[in-house]
Amino acid sequence: MTRPLNVALAGLGTVGAGVLSLLRQNADLVAARAGRPIAVTAVSARDRTRDRGISLAGLHWFDDPAALARDPAVDVVVEVIGGSEGVARDVVEAALAAGKPVVTANKALLAVHGAALAEAAEAAGVALAFESAVAGGIPVIKALREGLAGNRIARVAGILNGTCNYILTVMREQGREFAEVLAEAQKLGYAEADPSFDVDGIDAAHKLAILAALAFGRPVDFAAVHVEGIRRVSALDFVFAGELGYRIKLLGLARQTEAGIETRVHPCMVPQASPLARVDGVFNAVVAEGDFVGRVMLEGRGAGAGPTASAVVADLIDVARGRTTPVWGARSAALSHAPSVPMAAHVGAYYLRLMVVDRPGVIADVTAALRDAGISLESMLQRGRSPGEAVPVVLVTHETREAAMRDALARIAAMDAVLEDPTLIRIEPA
* 362 residue type, one letter: V
pLDDT at residue 316, rounded to an integer? 97
Indicate whether 172 and 263 sit together in one domain.
yes
Q: Is 90 exceeded by the pLDDT of residue 249?
A: yes
| 207 included as an active-site residue | yes
Q: Is 50 exceeded by the pLDDT of residue 1?
A: no
Indicate whether 166 and 214 sit together in one domain.
yes
Indicate whether 124 and 181 sit together in one domain.
no
Cβ(399)–Cβ(349) under 8 Å? Answer: yes
pLDDT in tens, 130-188: 999 999 889 999 999 999 999 999 999 999 999 999 999 999 999 999 999 999 999 98
Strands 246-257 and 260-271 come out as antiparallel
> 107, 142, 207, 249: which is the annotated catalytic residue?
207
Backbone dihedral region of 384: left (phi > 0), alpha (psi from -120 to 50 degrees) or beta?
A: left
Residues in the chain: 430
* Beta-bridge partners for 246: 271
CATH code for the domain of 392: 3.30.70.260
Establish if 267 belongs to a structural domain. Answer: yes
pLDDT in tens, 307-361: 999 999 999 999 999 998 999 999 988 999 999 999 999 999 999 999 999 888 8
Indicate whether 101 and 184 sit together in one domain.
no
CB atoms within 10 A of CB 235: 15
CATH code for the domain of 18: 3.40.50.720
Indicate whether 229 and 292 sit together in one domain.
yes
Indicate whether 297 and 150 sit together in one domain.
yes
Indicate whether 60 and 160 sit together in one domain.
no
Question: Which residue segment(s) compose the domain that 411 sits in?
Answer: 343-427
Q: How far apart are CA 382 and CA 362, in angstroms?
A: 12
Mean pLDDT of the chain: 94
User: Band of the pLDDT at 129, cuts 50, 70, 90?
Assistant: very high
Domains in the chain, number: 3
Q: How far is CA 84 from CA 79, 108, 153, 222, 395, in A?
A: 12, 5, 28, 12, 40
Q: Which residues contact 122 (CB under 8 A, 6 or more apart)?
A: 326, 327, 331, 332
Model confidence, pTM: 0.94
Indicate whether 153 and 256 sit together in one domain.
yes
User: Band of the pLDDT at 384, cuts 50, 70, 90?
Assistant: low
Give the single-character DSSP code of 3: P
Q: How far is CA 338 from CA 95, 221, 229, 257, in A?
A: 31, 11, 27, 10
Output b/e per residue, 280-313; b: 16+ Cβ within 10 A: bebbbbbbbbbeeeeebebbbbbbbbebbbbbbb
pLDDT in tens, 191-230: 888 999 999 999 999 999 999 999 999 999 999 999 999 9
Indicate whether 145 and 132 sit together in one domain.
no
Alpha helices in 125-234 (DSSP H): 140-142, 162-174, 178-188, 196-199, 202-216
Establish if 308 belongs to a structural domain. Answer: no
Q: Which residues contact 400 (CB under 8 A, 6 or more apart)?
A: 347, 348, 349, 350, 373, 374, 375, 376
User: Band of the pLDDT at 57, cuts 50, 70, 90?
Assistant: confident
Establish if 337 belongs to a structural domain. Answer: no
Establish if 338 belongs to a structural domain. Answer: no
pLDDT at residue 39, rounded to an integer? 93
pLDDT at residue 160, rounded to an integer? 97
